[in-house]
């Protein structure tokens, strides 16, 4: 289900725990693992893009460490049945069940700490890793890193960058459109990101700059349209809604996971066209969320309106997991 807005335009400052200036410069995660500075467990989050990789890291030496993840770092799946992931970098640190924006792992003691990495699917044809799938840290892919970094510099959406990664790795736009849901402008911007990356690789700074500027124009226009669409929606994330039909199915991943009865209330997680994603507790419900038809619900009596999508307002220092930026299997069309 759509859990995020299509554009990744976030106004927030990166918060990183302070460490003494005398401490050494950050060590790359792959180097820290290879040299025995840290132990790590790397798993998926059931997402193909965005804050899609979870790393539990424990320091093995008795001195402060800073650990960073270089753009383009490959997370190689331990199962050949699911995709590898290509990272942009460290994004969040888990703090008391919520997440704080960081760009480096600061390890001041030997307790395990959990971080989320922003990452993108590297294998279009393979399924999205689940929370049970684990990874090994691989080498850096500089070509894919260039596409991701240019996308981030242009403040492009997660979906735009993901499409650009696939295009740069040789997938055709026609094939991607069959299995991945994105706005037309996101596909246009993705193609331009690939042009910018290719121009940079061949040393054509003028062509790269022109393509990057076109991406920024598309991003700005799309954000304006997105804000306008959200403002017109009857429902928005955070609303409490009540079922008005006698019964209505709740679906996830193209199957029914339960039935909601008249009078049942739910919290809205996301809104997509004529459907909303609601929190729904069912034994086999992926992530305890499911689709419900917007025509079968109304705002619950006396319930306060939601705050809208968290990515279209300033994030506080701590955010909940549902505020994180992910593209799920359902959004990918799987």
Q: What is the DSSP string of 32-52?
A: HHHTTSEEEEEEE-SEEEEEE
**Whether 158 contacts 219, CB under 8 Å:** no
**Spatial separation of the C-alpha atoms in residues 104 and 17, rounded to whole Å:** 9
If phi > 0 it is left, if psi is from -120 to 50 it is alpha, else beta; for residue 229 that is alpha
| pLDDT at position 205 over 70 | yes
Query: Binning pLDDT at 50, 70 and 90, where does residue 269 land?
Result: confident
Record the pTM.
0.71
- Among residues 260, 299, 261, 253, which one has the least CA distance to residue 280? 260
Q: Which residue has the higher pLDDT, 75 or 286?
A: 75
Average pLDDT over residues 168-188: 91
Q: How many CB atoms lie within 10 A of CB 177?
A: 14
- The per-residue DSSP string of 46-96 comes to SEEEEEEEEEEEEE-SSS-EEEE--TTEEEEESSTTS--EEEEEEEEEEET
**Spatial separation of the C-alpha atoms in residues 193 and 186, rounded to whole Å:** 10
**Spatial separation of the C-alpha atoms in residues 187 and 5, rounded to whole Å:** 16
Task: Tell the residue number behind the tokens 């500027």, with chain if given.
Answer: 213
Average pLDDT over residues 118-146: 92
Strand order in the sheet with 105-107: 27-28, 65-68, 105-107
3-state SS, residue 54: strand
Taking CA atoms, 165 is separated from 10, 16, 155, 191, in Å, by 21, 28, 15, 10
Note the pLDDT of residue 220: 86
Q: Which residue has the higher pLDDT, 54 or 98?
A: 54
**Spatial separation of the C-alpha atoms in residues 317 and 323, rounded to whole Å:** 12
| pLDDT at position 20 over 50 | no
Note the pLDDT of residue 324: 63
| pLDDT at position 17 over 50 | no
Question: According to the CATH classification, is domain 240-311 in 3.40.50.720?
Answer: no
Query: Encoding tokens for residue 79?
Result: 């199962």
Average pLDDT over residues 151-167: 92
**Residues of CATH 2.30.30.40 domain(s) within the chain?**
240-311
Q: Which residue has the higher pLDDT, 295 or 307?
A: 295
Note the pLDDT of residue 30: 94
**Spatial separation of the C-alpha atoms in residues 11 and 9, rounded to whole Å:** 7
Note the pLDDT of residue 271: 78
Note the pLDDT of residue 97: 78
| pLDDT at position 15 over 60 | no
**Spatial separation of the C-alpha atoms in residues 261 and 259, rounded to whole Å:** 7
Q: Which residue has the higher pLDDT, 122 or 11?
A: 122
3-state SS, residue 293: strand
Average pLDDT over residues 292-318: 67
Query: Encoding tokens for residue 29?
Result: 């995660």
Query: Binning pLDDT at 50, 70 and 90, where does residue 294 land?
Result: confident
3-state SS, residue 225: helix
**pLDDT exceeding 90 applies to what percent of the chain?**
49
**Whether 260 contacts 248, CB under 8 Å:** yes
Task: Find the largest Cα–Cα distance for the chain.
Answer: 66
Across the chain, mean pLDDT equals 82
Taking CA atoms, 12 is separated from 238, 295, 307, in Å, by 20, 35, 17
Looking at mean pLDDT, say which of 37-41, 140-144, 182-186, 301-305 comes out highest. 37-41
| pLDDT at position 315 over 60 | no
Average pLDDT over residues 272-286: 73
Note the pLDDT of residue 320: 52
3-state SS, residue 120: strand
The tens digit of pLDDT for each residue in 58-92 reads 999 999 999 999 999 999 999 888 999 999 999 99
Q: At what angle do helices 205-232 and 142-153 cross, to 10 degrees?
A: 50
- Among residues 161, 189, 188, 169, which one has the least CA distance to residue 49? 161
Note the pLDDT of residue 326: 72
Average pLDDT over residues 94-100: 83
At 327, give phi and psi (nearest 5°).
-105, 115
**Spatial separation of the C-alpha atoms in residues 97 and 107, rounded to whole Å:** 18
Task: Tell the residue number behind the tokens 């290719």, with chain if given.
Answer: 198
**Whether 39 contacts 58, CB under 8 Å:** yes
| pLDDT at position 281 over 80 | no
The tens digit of pLDDT for each residue in 215-233 reads 999 988 887 877 776 665 6
């Amino acid at each position: 289900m759509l859990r995020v807005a299509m554009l990744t335009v976030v106004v927030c400052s990166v918060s990183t725990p302070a460490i003494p200036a005398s401490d050494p410069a950050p060590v790359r995660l792959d180097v820290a693992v290879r040299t025995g500075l840290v132990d790590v467990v790397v798993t998926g989050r059931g997402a193909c893009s965005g804050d899609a990789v979870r790393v539990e890291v424990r320091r093995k030496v008795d001195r402060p460490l800073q650990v960073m993840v270089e753009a383009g770092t490959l997370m190689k799946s331990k199962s050949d049945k699911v995709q590898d992931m290509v990272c942009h970098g460290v994004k969040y640190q888990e703090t008391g069940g919520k997440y704080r924006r960081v760009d480096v792992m600061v390890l001041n003691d030997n307790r395990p700490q959990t971080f989320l990495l922003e990452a993108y699917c590297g294998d279009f044809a393979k399924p999205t890793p689940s929370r049970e799938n684990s990874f090994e840290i691989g080498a850096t892919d500089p070509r894919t890193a260039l596409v991701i970094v240019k996308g981030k510099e242009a403040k492009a959406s997660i979906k735009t960058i993901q499409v650009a990664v696939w295009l740069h790795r040789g997938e055709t736009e026609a094939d991607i459109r069959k299995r991945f849901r994105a706005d037309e402008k996101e596909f246009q911007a993705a193609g331009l990101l690939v042009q910018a990356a290719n121009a940079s690789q061949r040393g054509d700074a003028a062509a790269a700059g022109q393509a990057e500027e076109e991406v920024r124009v598309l991003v700005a226009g799309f954000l304006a349209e997105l804000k306008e669409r959200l403002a017109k929606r009857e429902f928005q994330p955070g609303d409490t809604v009540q079922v008005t039909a006698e019964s209505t199915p709740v679906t996830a991943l193209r199957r029914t996971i339960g039935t909601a009865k008249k009078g049942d209330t739910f919290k809205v997680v996301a809104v997509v066209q004529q459907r909303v994603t609601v929190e729904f507790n069912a034994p086999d419900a992926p992530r305890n969320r499911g689709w419900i038809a917007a025509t079968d619900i109304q705002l619950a009596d006396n319930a306060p309106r939601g705050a809208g999508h968290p990515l279209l307002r300033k994030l506080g220092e701590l955010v909940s997991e549902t505020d994180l930026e992910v593209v799920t299997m359902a959004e990918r069309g799987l």
